[in-house]
C-alpha cells in the first residue's frame, strides 16, 4: 500500500515512475474501456488511430522499422522477438534444429528472463563473461564474446543483451558487440528494460540491435506496481518485420499476416495504451530527452553521495554509472552480520520501499531513482541510507547486540511501539522515528518481518472453506 505519492520507490531495473493524473484519465473513458478486443475494426477507428500514432512515435524513439504491439510484458516481448529471429533463420534455410542456428549468447549481466526465454524457444544458451576489474567493470568481456561467437559461428542464432547493462553501466563496446554477432550470421536481441537511459540520447536501432522490447509499463509510464497490466511491444528492423506476431481472429495487415500470436488479443492490453500515448504527447521530444538526462544525473548523484558509506560495485571508466547503481553490502555483512535484507526491512521504518535486493549480484542493492524524484526526495533517501550505515556501525562496535538491534528487528509496527514490554537496547523513538522528518508523515508498516524464503517454499492455501 506504499505508493509513489508517499515516497520514492527506487527498485533498480524496474523504473517505477510517477504517473501523472492527466495520463491516467483516458483509461477511465468507456470509449477505451468497454470495447471488445475483437470488435469489428470499423467500430474501433479511434483505437487504431491511437495505436498507429504510438507506433510511429516508438519507431522514431527506438530507430526500428516496425512495431508489434501484441506482447503484454517484457518477457513476452522477449519471446515474440526470439520467435521472430527463429522464423527469420528458418526462412533462409537455417532452422533452429541441431544442424541449424540454435546457440544464444547471453552475458552474465543479463536479466533472468533472457535465458528462460531462450530455453523456452529451444535455443542452447552459452554464457558470456563480464569484466570484473577492480575499477569499473561490469561490461561484457569482448574477448570472450569474440571467442564464443567464433566457436559457435555456424550455429549462432542470436545474442541477448541489455543496454545499459543490468550492472548499471553503459556497455562501452556495444556497437562492436553487435558487429561481432552480425559477422557470424547472428541477430541481436536487446533487452529494453533499461531503455529509460537511452530515450533521446541514442536508440537500439542506432546501436545495432535487430529487435528489442520496450516496457511501456516502465519507460513510458504505465504503472505496474502490484502486478498491474503491462505492455512489452517489440521494435524490429525491416528484415525481421515479416516474422513478427499476428493474430488468427483479428489479423493485422502486413507481410507478417498468417504468423501465430503470442497474446490473446491482437494489440495486447490495448486499453492501457492511452497512458503512454499521453505521456509521449505531453513530454515531446525535448522533454523525453531531458527525462533521460535527469534519470542518469539522479543515479550518479546517489552513487557519488553513498559511495563514502557503501561501495558502488560497477562504474564506467570515468567512474560514472548509467541510470541505476549497485551498492555492495557484502563487506558490511562479513564484518557485522547485517545483511542486505536487514537494510531493506529497516528502510520501511524510514518510510521507503527498498531498492532491488540481491539482483543481479547476491548481497547487493540496485538503486534506480528515475527522473521522477526531486533532489529533496533523493536527499531524504540518502539521509536514510547514511543513518542506516551509522546504525550498522553501532552493531559492528558492539554498542547494540548482533541479534537485537533496529536492523534485525525491522520493521517496527505501531503495535511494537505501544507494547508495554519493550525490552530492546534501543529506544522506541530510535525504532520508529530514526530521523526527525519521519515523524512528520510516518508511514507505518502493518506487519513485522516476513520470512521471505519460507513463503516462497511453502504453499499457503487461501481457498474458501468447503470449496474444492
Sequential DSSP letters for 376-406: HHHHHHHHHHHHHHHHHHHHHTTSS-TTSST
The pLDDT assigned to 14 comes to 87
pLDDT at 111: 85
For residue 199, what are the contacts with CB-CB under 8 A and spacing of at least 6?
61, 219, 288, 289, 291, 292
Q: What is the DSSP string of 137-170?
A: --SB-HHHHHHHHHHTGGGEEEEEEESS-TTSS-
SS3 95: coil
Instruction: Give pLDDT, residue 144.
Output: 96
pLDDT of residue 134: 45
Instruction: State the pLDDT at residue 416.
Output: 95
Quote the pTM value: 0.94
CA-derived radius of gyration, the chain: 24
Write out the DSSP string of 243-276. Answer: GS---SSSPPPSTTTTPPPSSSSTTSSGGGHHHH
> Would you give per-residue pLDDT tens digits along the chain (468 residues)?
788 888 999 999 888 888 899 999 999 999 999 999 999 999 999 999 999 999 999 999 999 999 999 999 999 999 999 999 999 999 998 876 666 899 999 998 888 899 999 999 999 999 999 886 544 567 899 999 999 999 999 999 999 999 999 899 998 899 999 999 999 999 999 999 999 999 999 999 999 999 999 999 999 999 886 667 889 999 999 999 999 999 999 998 888 888 899 999 999 999 999 999 999 999 999 999 999 999 999 999 999 999 999 999 999 888 999 999 999 999 999 999 999 999 999 999 999 999 999 888 999 999 999 999 999 999 999 999 999 999 999 999 999 999 999 999 999 999 999 999 999 999 999 999 999 999 998 999 999 998 878 888 988 887 777 765
Strand partners, 367: 11, 325
Q: Provide the sign of the torsion angle of the four alpha carbons 65, 68, 71, 73, taken in this order.
A: positive
80 neighbors 70 (Cβ within 8 angstroms): yes
Cα dihedral value 134, 136, 137, 139, nearest 10: -170
Quote the pLDDT of residue 451: 84
How many helices, marked H, and strands, marked E, lie in the chain? Answer: 16, 10
Rounded distance between C-alpha atoms, residue 272 and residue 220, angstroms: 11
Q: State residue 1's pLDDT score.
A: 76
Say what the pLDDT of residue 133 is.
56
- Name every residue whose Cβ is closer than 8 Å to that of residue 269 and which is 6 or more positions away in sequence: 72, 229, 230, 231
Cell triple for 209: 540491435
Amino acid at each position: 500500500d506504499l505508493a509513489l505519492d508517499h515516497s520514492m520507490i527506487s527498485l533498480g531495473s524496474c523504473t517505477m515512475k510517477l504517473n501523472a493524473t492527466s495520463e491516467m484519465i483516458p483509461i477511465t473513458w468507456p470509449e477505451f474501456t468497454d470495447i471488445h478486443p475483437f470488435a469489428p475494426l470499423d467500430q474501433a477507428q479511434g483505437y487504431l488511430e491511437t495505436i498507429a500514432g504510438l507506433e510511429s512515435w516508438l519507431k522514431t524513439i527506438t530507430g526500428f522499422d516496425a512495431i508489434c504491439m501484441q506482447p503484454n510484458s517484457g518477457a513476452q516481448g522477449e519471446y515474440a522477438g526470439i520467435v521472430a529471429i527463429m522464423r527469420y533463420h528458418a526462412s533462409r534455410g537455417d532452422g533452429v534444429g541441431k544442424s541449424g542456428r540454435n546457440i544464444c549468447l547471453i552475458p552474465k549481466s543479463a536479466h533472468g528472463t533472457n535465458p528462460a526465454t531462450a530455453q523456452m524457444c529451444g535455443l542452447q544458451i552459452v554464457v558470456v563473461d563480464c569484466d570484473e576489474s577492480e575499477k569499473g567493470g561490469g561490461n561484457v568481456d569482448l574477448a570472450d564474446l569474440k571467442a564464443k561467437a567464433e566457436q559457435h559461428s555456424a550455429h549462432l542464432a542470436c545474442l541477448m543483451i541489455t543496454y545499459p547493462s543490468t550492472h548499471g553501466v553503459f556497455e562501452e563496446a556495444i556497437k562492436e558487440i553487435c558487429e561481432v554477432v552480425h559477422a557470424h550470421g547472428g541477430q541481436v536481441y536487446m533487452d529494453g528494460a533499461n531503455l529509460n537511459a537511452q530515450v533521446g540520447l541514442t536508440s537500439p536501432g542506432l546501436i545495432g540491435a535487430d529487435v528489442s522490447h520496450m516496457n511501456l509499463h516502465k519507460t513510458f509510464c504505465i504503472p505496474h506496481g502490484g502486478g498491474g497490466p503491462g505492455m512489452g511491444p517489440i521494435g524490429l528492423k525491416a528484415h525481421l518485420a515479416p516474422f513478427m506476431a499476428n493474430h488468427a481472429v483479428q489479423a493485422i495487415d502486413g507481410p507478417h499476416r498468417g504468423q501465430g500470436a503470442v497474446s490473446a488479443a491482437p494489440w495486447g492490453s490495448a486499453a492501457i495504451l492511452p497512458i503512454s500515448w499521453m505521456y509521449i504527447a505531453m513530454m515531446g521530444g525535448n522533454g523525453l530527452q531531458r527525462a533521460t538526462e535527469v534519470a542518469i544525473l539522479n543515479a550518479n548523484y546517489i552513487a557519488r553521495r553513498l559511495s563514502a558509506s557503501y561501495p558502488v560495485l560497477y562504474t564506467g571508466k570515468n567512474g560514472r554509472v548509467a541510470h541505476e547503481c549497485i551498492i555492495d553490502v557484502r563487506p558490511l555483512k562479513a564484518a557485522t552480520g547485517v545483511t542486505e535484507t536487514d537494510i531493506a526491512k529497516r528502510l520501511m521504518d524510514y518510510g521507503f520501499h527498498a531498492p532491488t535486493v540481491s539482483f543481479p549480484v547476491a548481497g547487493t542493492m540496485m538503486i534506480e531513482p528515475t527522473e521522477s524524484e526531486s533532489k529533496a526526495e533523493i536527499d531524504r533517501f540518502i539521509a536514510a541510507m547514511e543513518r542506516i550505515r551509522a546504525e550498522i556501525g553501532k552493531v559492528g562496535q558492539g554498542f547494540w547486540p548482533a541479534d537485537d538491534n533496529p536492523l534485525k528487528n525491522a520493521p517496527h509496527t505501531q503495535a511494537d511501539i505501544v507494547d508495554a514490554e519493550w525490552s530492546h537496547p534501543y529506544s522506541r523513538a530510535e525504532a520508529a522515528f530514526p530521523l526527525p522528518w519521519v515523524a512528520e508523515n510516518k508511514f507505518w508498516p502493518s506487519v513485522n518481518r516476513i520470512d521471505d524464503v519460507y513463503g516462497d517454499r511453502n504453499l499457503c492455501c487461501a481457498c474458501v472453506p468447503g470449496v474444492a
